[in-house]
């Protein structure tokens, strides 16, 4: 369990409410604070207001795609160092993640243990 004053913040962008609920439960069990959004509208403001330690980004989102949203975050000096894990059911997720400039990717449907491993990999490396 993570120490409360070191609680990691994870932001999930996905328009599938079932995915958001499931991921939120898993992350809270890991001791993370979670924020979710079904839209990438104003993506830079949404992320800057929360300043998460990790972002999960779906590919198919209303407003702008996950690729565009990730590119905007990576082009922003204030936000570019936040790891983004691209997660999608697309068969070419590895290519999409690379195009977006994401730090990692996770294919849906995913194994919960693997999801937890990715979260730990990116949040433990953030710890100073």
Instruction: Give the tens place of pLDDT for each residue, 66-95.
Output: 999 999 999 999 999 999 999 999 999 999
Q: What is the pTM of this model?
A: 0.92
Q: What is the pLDDT of residues 1-55, one digit of tens each?
A: 444 457 899 999 999 999 999 999 999 999 999 999 999 999 999 999 999 999 9
pLDDT at 5: 52
C-alpha distances out from residue 81 to 6, 70, 103, 113, 114, Å: 18, 12, 10, 25, 23
Distant-in-sequence, close-in-space partners of 96: CB < 8 Å, separation ≥ 6: 59, 66, 67, 86, 88, 90, 105
- Per the CB < 8 A criterion, the answer to whether 52 and 82 are in contact is yes
pLDDT at 1: 45
pLDDT at 63: 86
pLDDT at 124: 84
Domain ranges of the chain: 16-124
pLDDT at 80: 97
Q: 86-108 burial, b for 16+ CB within 10 Å, e for fewer?
A: bbbebeebeebbeebbbbebbbe
CATH tag, 16-124 = 3.40.50.2300
């Amino acid at each position: 369990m993570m120490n409360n004053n070191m609680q990691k913040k994870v932001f999930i962008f996905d328009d599938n409410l079932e995915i958001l609920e499931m991921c939120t439960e898993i992350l809270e069990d890991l001791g993370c604070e979670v924020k979710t959004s079904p839209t990438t509208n104003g993506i830079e403001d949404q992320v800057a207001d929360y300043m998460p330690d990790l972002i999960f980004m779906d590919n198919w989102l209303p407003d702008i795609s996950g690729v565009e949203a990730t590119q905007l975050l990576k082009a922003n000096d204030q936000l570019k160092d936040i790891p983004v894990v691209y997660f999608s059911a697309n068969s070419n997720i590895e290519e999409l993640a690379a195009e977006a400039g994401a730090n990692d990717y996770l294919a849906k449907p995913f194994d919960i243990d693997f999801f937890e491993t990715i979260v730990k990999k990116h949040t433990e490396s953030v710890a100073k």
